[in-house]
Chain A
Amino acid sequence: MSGHLYLWLIPALPFAGFLLNGIFGAKLPKSLVTTIALLAPLGSFALVVNAAATIFLYVSRCKLCGPPDYGWSILPLNELHGAWITSGRLQIDFSFVLDQLSLVMLLIITGVGFLIHIYSVGYMSEERGYWRYFAYLNLFLFFMTVLVLAGNALLMFVGWEGVGLASYLLIGFWFQKTPAADAGKKAFVVNRIGDFGFLIGIFLLLSTFGNLTFAEIGARLAADPAMQGGVVTAIALCLLVGATGKSAQLPLYVWLPDAMEGPTPVSALIHAATMVTAGVYMIARTHAIYDRSPFALSVVAIVGAATALFAATIALVQTDIKRVLAYSTVSQLGYMFLGCGVAAYSVGVFHLMTHAFFKALLFLAAGSVIHGLGGEQDLRRMGGLRKNMPITFWTMTIAVVAIAGIPPFAGFFSKDAILYAAYQEGAGGKILWFVGWLTAGLTAFYMFRLWYLAFLGESRADLHAEDEGALVHARSDTKLTLEAEHHHTPHESPWSMLGPLVILAVLSVIGGWVGAGRFGAFLAPSVGARTAEAASNTLEITLTALAVLIAVIGWFVAHRLYRNYAGEEPLARASFPYKLLTHKYWVDELYGTLIVKPILAVSRFVLEMLVDFAILGGIAWLLAGMASFGGALLQRWQSGNLRSYAAWLAAGAAALLLFALVPWTTVLADVGIHLNSAGH
């Protein structure tokens, strides 16, 4: 293939945008900031599309002259940009790899990313830190594309940590608000726990393979079929820890709901469509390792399934529109993990893609709602928005249906494929399938609950929630910026926001039509084809029917309960479970009590006060005190009395004479002490 794809430009453009806006943004006119901010992802997107087109053209040309799949052998495409770290035998390069997997990811990231940039222009237009916002957003795209393009684990780690940074900055965008700043910090620190695992995984990779390049590791594994379990499992589990951090899986999911303190487009881009899927991407990328460790795989699957169910239950009772979506995201990510956990990586990635469309859409639509309501995020005070915001309503509807898994929308295909893949994994797979299936019902329920509460019924804007504190908290998102338009009727958003909604709505409809099979075949060179036994058609159809059924049931229940919602939560009737769920199983409190507080207490009372102050300080104090005490004694000697001085002098003289005249060696020898030499 001729021509250069300039892969490095894909991250470089957003980085340039970041630098320009970040350094000069405060002084540039807003229009210029917007131009720079939009050109960067547009350029990247164009480059990715160009790359895709070039490759597809090449492949189709090759089809004419050779074996059908010959053209695909140009992938993976390697771009080397010199060494980053060199030390002794160790060398880490700036190497970018384009293969099917990264191509898909790049398309999603830059495509959705670009849409969300456009959306942000409208959403953030009143914001004082407009330039700062776009600088961060560009920075995010830079790191995310680096993460995806990285040809070795350490470079991926660069992107991995970098997106965490961008996430930190964007969650804490309204840093004047304590919750936002807190949430940003929490996100970073919890992610760091995951990164710790990732880093240990990298060390293990390095010591096992002497190398961090994915291709090399894959080759080494392929060359050594005996390499199984043991260290490979350890590596896989360490990487999984990293993935659970970034992708908000159990037990490290806690940061994601709090991350909703950030601006809504950020939630859409980073905390729904792209960054949080990095864990899935990473597992897919390192599938060669997971393939060798059934145990690690099953852990992935269990974590995924458990998270999916767990988060879905919490989502049932949330009243903040963004928190519902946040828990939904956690739950959907659980699906992706489940997919990867049954070695159906391509299916996981497939769901990743469709999820990117409909979840981004959901968040953007929710943002549109919030924007239209002047910062209102509490579902209990919404209602009846269908009339005021028709486009938002319709796009949201598509997204809800898509996530609920109703054909022929995108979510149906991918979720169905995951459940099917899970079901095929032996006996355990059946349980996983059941959990996934149950979750699907819950998903349909809470999504339609949201839909009913927000858009149908009558407006409840004047309803005062009993919990004013929570309300203020929930409303705080755009409060600062949208203070001016706080009190007026709901209105539809500008077209800069609606345009992306429409595009994403279209994608949410058609995104799944490509089909899991064809998608899997396309990804096979990157993530391996699943060699499942050819399942019977009837089984597949039965499972599909069951999945659709439970989605419909979910819808139906939501319909029954929330069609006539008037401020009273129907689920609250089951009081204990309701309390359990509204308090999110008290996980945050649990972590606080079991981990954070003990660490702080030990640090303060044991390490600082006991060790540092009492013991180490005490030793120093004791030494100084001994010297000082000695000094005090010696001062007493200095009585000021002439005669006592003379007495000491005479005593000294006597001592000298004794010292010199008594044959000490002989005397001591007599009492049994032998000195080797007089003196020292």
Chain B
Amino acid sequence: MIPLSWYLLLSAALFSLGVIGFLIKRNLITVFMSIELMLNGVNLSFVTFAHQWHLVKGQIFVFFVMVVAAAEAAVGLAIIIAIFRTRATLAVDRIDLMKL
């Protein structure tokens, strides 16, 4: 049987990859996907812990996270469309009209 800690490590790795993706990717969509990756990393942790504690609560949590992620995706994509309409770009680095 695969030890629980492996799942946790994978979850942490996924989360970190999400973070790194957020930091290094230059396309808004990709950045946004990185967040999804982070959430999924967390989801994996929830499932792992649910398994460990033999509690269904963890899985339920995952469902909610997924629902919320879906809602976020809708809102996020809408905002990205608005960005594209006004700026005609999806490059993260060019969205820096407001600074200092």
Chain A residues at the B interface, C-beta cutoff of 8 Å:
635-636, 638-643, 646-647, 650
Contact = CB atoms under 8 A, between A and B. Distances in A.
B92 A643 contact: yes
A490 B92 CA distance: 104
B19 A650 contact: yes
B100 A642 contact: no
12 contacts: A635-B100, A640-B98, A640-B100, A641-B92, A641-B93, A642-B31, A642-B96, A643-B23, A643-B24, A646-B22, A650-B22, A650-B23
A638 B99 contact: yes
A640 B23 contact: no
Contacts of A635: 100
B95 to A, nearest CB: 6
B88 interface: no
Contacts of A638: 99-100
B1 interface: no
Contact of B99 (A640, A643, A646): A640
Given A642-B92, A643-B24, A643-B31, 11 more contacts: A638-B99, A640-B98, A641-B92, A641-B93, A641-B99, A642-B31, A642-B96, A643-B22, A643-B26, A646-B22, A650-B19
B23 A647 contact: yes
B100 to A, nearest CB: 5
B2 interface: no
Interface in B41-100: 92-93, 95-100
Contact of A641 (B22, B24, B96): B96
Nearest to A653: B19
A633 to B, nearest CB: 11
Contact of B96 (A636, A639, A650): A639
Interface residues of B, number: 14
A643 B98 CA distance: 14
Contacts of B24: 643
B84 to A, nearest CB: 15
Contacts of A640: 96-100
A646 B97 CA distance: 17
Interface of B: 19, 22-24, 26, 31, 92-93, 95-100
- Give the top 6 A-B pairs by smallest Cβ distance, nearest first: A640-B99, A640-B96, A635-B100, A641-B96, A642-B92, A647-B23
Contacts of A642: 31, 92-93, 95-96
Contacts of B99: 638-641
A278 B93 CA distance: 90
A650 B21 CA distance: 12
B99 to A, nearest CB: 3
Nearest to B99: A640
A412 B55 CA distance: 130
Nearest to B25: A643
B31 to A, nearest CB: 8
B45 to A, nearest CB: 16
A611 B30 CA distance: 61
Nearest to B98: A640
Contact of A643 (B93, B97, B100): B93
A640 B24 CA distance: 16
B23 A646 contact: yes
B60 to A, nearest CB: 26
A640 B92 CA distance: 10
Contacts of A650: 19, 22-23
A641 B24 CA distance: 12
A351 B100 CA distance: 87
Contacts of A639: 96, 99
Nearest to A650: B19
Nearest to A642: B92
Contacts of A641: 92-93, 96, 99
A647 B20 CA distance: 9
A643 B92 CA distance: 7
Nearest to B16: A650
Nearest to B26: A643
A640 B93 CA distance: 9
Contacts of A646: 22-23
A636 B100 CA distance: 6
A642 B32 CA distance: 12
A635 B22 CA distance: 23
Contacts of B92: 641-643
A627 B19 CA distance: 34
A639 B26 CA distance: 16
Contacts of B31: 642-643
A639 to B, nearest CB: 6
A181 to B, nearest CB: 59
Contacts of B26: 643
Contacts of B19: 650
B93 to A, nearest CB: 6
A503 B22 CA distance: 113
B73 to A, nearest CB: 18
Contacts of A647: 23
A636 B31 CA distance: 24
A650 B23 CA distance: 9
A643 B26 CA distance: 8
A640 B95 CA distance: 8
Nearest to B95: A642
Contacts of A643: 22-24, 26, 31, 92-93
A59 B19 CA distance: 117
A650 B26 CA distance: 17
A409 B96 CA distance: 105
A648 to B, nearest CB: 10
B43 to A, nearest CB: 19
A646 B23 CA distance: 7
B6 to A, nearest CB: 21
Nearest to B19: A650
A635 B100 CA distance: 5
A638 B96 CA distance: 10
A530 B80 CA distance: 114
A526 B69 CA distance: 111
Most buried by B among A636, A642, A647: A642
A636 B99 CA distance: 9
B80 to A, nearest CB: 12
Nearest to A634: B100
Contacts of B97: 640
A651 to B, nearest CB: 10
A641 B95 CA distance: 7
